[in-house]
């Protein structure tokens, strides 16, 4: 019995499906254009609103992952505005709250913030994987981030999210491909 379970367990790791075929160059080009404009714009905006450079780099990592979803996979569940906005905003609120009110070390706070963000995103139907990274930024961010407290949700997180969303709407709907529209749904 145990031997059979182990066999089944390890067999799952084998995979077996073939990878996706290469994407058409036009899809690659639209994805590149959206990601370039989106990340460049939020980098400039963060510089203008004096976001700490370390925090901006952390956030750009999180929003870089969001860009892959919004611009390269605009039809994916994780890419939809509800997931994108809700995942980042809720996770940021959780990260800030955990940092402010729990007296643990950074590794413990980080683990609590990310894992709790996943739970909340599941419960609110806003699962957006980069949201976990945004929760982490609220924990490991600079003193400026910690001083901002919940204002950090509005700027830079909500501001950056809205910028990427608007660029996603513009770029993804410019293509003549009927499968490349964004979003599939709002809420």
pLDDT band, residue 28 (cuts 50/70/90): very high
Instruction: Give the other-Cβ count within 10 Å of 113's Cβ.
Output: 27
pLDDT for 136-178, tens place per residue? 999 999 999 999 999 999 999 999 999 999 999 999 999 888 8
Q: Let me know if residue 181 belongs to a domain.
A: no
pLDDT for the residue 151 = 96
pLDDT for 53-86, tens place per residue? 777 878 888 999 999 999 999 999 999 999 999 9
Burial class (CB in 10 A: 0-12, 13-18, 19+), 50: exposed
Count how many domains the chain has. Answer: 1
pLDDT for 108-137, tens place per residue? 999 999 999 999 999 999 999 999 999 999
Distance CA 141, CA 144 (A): 8
Which residues are CB-contacts of 21 (< 8 A; sequence separation ≥ 6)?
none
- pTM of the full predicted structure? 0.90
Q: Let me know if residue 18 belongs to a domain.
A: no
Q: Let me know if residue 183 belongs to a domain.
A: no
Kind plus residue range of the DSSP H or E element containing 109 = helix 106-123
Q: Let me know if residue 187 belongs to a domain.
A: no
Q: Let me know if residue 135 belongs to a domain.
A: yes
Q: Let me know if residue 3 belongs to a domain.
A: no
Q: Let me know if residue 83 belongs to a domain.
A: yes
Q: Supply the range of the domain harboring residue 35.
A: 25-172
Smallest CA-to-CA distance from 71 within 41, 46, 96 is with 41
From the centroid of its chain, how far is CA 154?
A: 16
């Amino acid at each position: 019995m145990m031997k059979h379970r182990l066999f089944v367990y390890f067999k799952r790791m084998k995979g077996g499906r073939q990878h996706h075929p290469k994407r058409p160059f036009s899809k690659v080009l639209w994805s590149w254009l959206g990601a370039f404009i989106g990340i460049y714009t939020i980098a400039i905006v963060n510089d203008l609103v004096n976001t700490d450079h370390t925090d901006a780099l952390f956030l750009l990592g999180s929003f870089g992952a969001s860009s892959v979803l919004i611009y390269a996979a605009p039809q994916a569940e994780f890419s939809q505005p509800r997931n994108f906005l809700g995942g980042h905003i809720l996770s940021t609120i959780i990260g800030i709250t955990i940092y402010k009110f729990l007296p643990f070390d950074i590794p413990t706070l980080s683990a609590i913030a990310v894992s709790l963000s996943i739970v909340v995103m599941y419960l609110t139907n806003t699962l957006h994987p980069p949201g976990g990274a945004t929760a982490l930024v609220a924990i490991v961010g600079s003193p400026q981030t910690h001083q901002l407290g919940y204002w950090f949700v509005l700027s830079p997180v909500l501001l950056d999210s809205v910028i990427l969303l608007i660029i996603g709407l513009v770029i993804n709907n410019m293509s003549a491909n009927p499968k490349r529209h964004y979003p599939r749904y709002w809420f």
